[in-house]
Structure 1
Amino acid sequence: MQEEQDYIRDIAQIRSIMERSSKFLSLAGWAGIMAGLYALAGAYIAYAVLDFNPDELVYSPAQSGGSSAGLVKVIGLASLILVLAIGTAILLSYNKATKRREKLWNAIVRRLLINMAVPLLAGGLLLLILIGKGLIGLLAPVALLFYGLALYNASQFTYEEVKSLGLIQIGLGLLSAYYVEYGLVCWALGFGVAHIMYGIYMHYRYER
């Protein structure tokens, strides 16, 4: 009986070692929580302060009492949220990797980033095109869709739960493309609420 238990423990240890060598496991749950909080704060500021809530594909700030300067502020706000989310993820993941005595930058991370880069870059360029064409109502759907595709691609190099998060983002992206008037709500649900729930789940499952 004792030999069988030792065998099972050895198998579990071998599996853990293989998983660490083939997947990026330093992604901190708190990174998801903080990213979600940044997104919710940004959505609130965009709606309540900057009066940004496109209800049609072609959005005219003048029609809502705003100006093109208001749209620039919204884009700047979104950029700030992105920088804060990425910076926080890097910092917290670095701290987690240090505690685990692992390197944050390795071959697995490079492959993960490469798989994320293609949909993210394509989506980013498409967002710039949409802004140039005045199709502001499609910004939220496109951002959610391409971010979801990036997460789905990256899931093979990190936690399996990332795939589910990616599918949620894709679903919300498609929903917001059909109901354009709820684009900002879907954006807040995807980048905000979904990230927070994912971060809490990951923290309690893998980090406690």
Structure 2
Amino acid sequence: MNQQQDQLEALHEIRNIMDRSSRFISLSGLSGVFAGLSALAGAAVVKWHLSQHNIVYRNDYTVSLNWGTILFMLGVAAAVMVVALVLAVYFTARKARLNNHRVWDSKSQRLLLNLAIPLAVGGVFCALLLYHGIVYLVAPAMLIFYGLALVNGSKYTLGDIRYLGMSEIVLGLLSSFFIGYGLLSWTIGFGVLHIVYGTLMYLKYER
């Protein structure tokens, strides 16, 4: 019985070593939590801006928003992204340092490349939507391409991130049908789902 247990432990250790050699496993769940909180704060700012200009998103999504409002919303989204990236780098570096792992190596480079390709394509597509005045599909497109990026990058990091990506894709597709709820879906996708995912990952890998 002890010999069998020792063999199982040895297999488990070999699997962990293989995972560490092929996957970037230093992503911190806290980065997801704080990214979600940043998104919720950004959504609150956008909601405040819309209320100040008497814009009800669910009623006005078929109307061309003025460029001032569009640029404000894009600015908030960009600010949320920058804050989320800075916090992700901080918490990931901290976790890597605690576990004596390198942050910048071939694994993290492969991860970033596979995340960047769908995100870059999604950014161009969203710009095209804005160019043609199809503002109400920008939020769903952000969710879909972000989800694709996560699924694509999950091969090079914690496999759990795939489920977050699939959730983002499903939410983006749903919000493509119910286009009056784009802002709400954006808030859920980038805010709530990140917080839930980050909390679960923190409890699973970092406690």
TM-score when normalising by structure 1: 0.92
Amino acid at match of 1:13: E
Q: Structure 2 CA distance, aligned partners of 1:49 and 1:56?
A: 14
1:26 alignment partner in structure 2:
26
Deviations 1:77-136 (A, max 9, x none): 110000001111011100100111010111111111111111100000111111222211
**Contact 1:57 / 1:138 at 8 angstroms: preserved in 2?**
no
Aligned to 1:15: 15
Q: In structure 1, what is the equivalent of residue 100 of structure 2?
A: 101
Alpha carbons 1:59, 1:135 under 8 Å: kept: no
Give the secondary-structure state (helix, strand or coil) at the position aligned to 2:8. helix
Distance 1:39 1:47, change over 3 A: same
Equivalence for 1:64: none
Deviation at 1:60, TM superposition (A): 2.3
For residues 54 and 135 of structure 1, what CA distance do their matches in structure 2 show? 15
One-letter code aligned to 2:88: A
Aligned-pair CA distance for 1:68? 2.5
In structure 2, the CA distance between the partners of 1:123 and 1:135, relative to structure 1 (3 Å rule), is same
Q: Which residue does 1:5 correspond to in 2?
A: 5
Letter in 1 for 2:42: G
- Gaps spanning 5+ residues in structure 1: where? 62-66
In 2, Cα distance between equivalents of 1:57 and 1:173: 16
Deviation at residue 163 of structure 1 after TM alignment: 0.8
Structure 2 partner of 1:156: 155
CA offsets 1:8-36 (integer angstroms, 9 cap, x no match)? 22111111111111111100000000011
Share of identical aligned residues, percent?
Answer: 40
Preserved contact between residue 50 and residue 74 of structure 1 (Cα < 8 Å): no
The 1:70–1:112 alpha-carbon spacing in structure 2 relative to 1, beyond 3 Å, is same
Residue 59 of structure 1 deviates from its aligned partner by 3.7
> Paired residue for 1:191?
190
C-alpha deviation, 1:56, in angstroms? 6.0
SS of the equivalent of 2:158 reads coil
Superposition pairs of residues 1-208 of structure 1, within 5 angstroms: 1-51=1-51, 53=57, 55=59, 58-61=62-65, 67-208=66-207
Deviation, structure 1 residue 73? 1.3
Contact 1:57 1:135 in 2 (8 A): no
Query: Which consecutive aligned stretches of 4+ in structure 1 deviate over 6 angstroms post-superposition?
Result: none
Report deviation, 1:74: 1.2
Which has the higher mean CA deviation after the structures are superposed, 110-119 or 192-201? 110-119
**By how many angstroms is 1:186 displaced?**
0.7
Alpha carbons 1:57, 1:180 under 8 Å: kept: yes
Alignment check: 8 A CA contact 1:54 1:137 kept: no
RMSD of equivalent CA atoms: 1.5
In the superposition, relative to structure 1, how do residues 127 and 12 fare at CA in structure 2: closer, same or farther (>3 Å)?
same
For structure 2, the 5+ residue unaligned runs are none
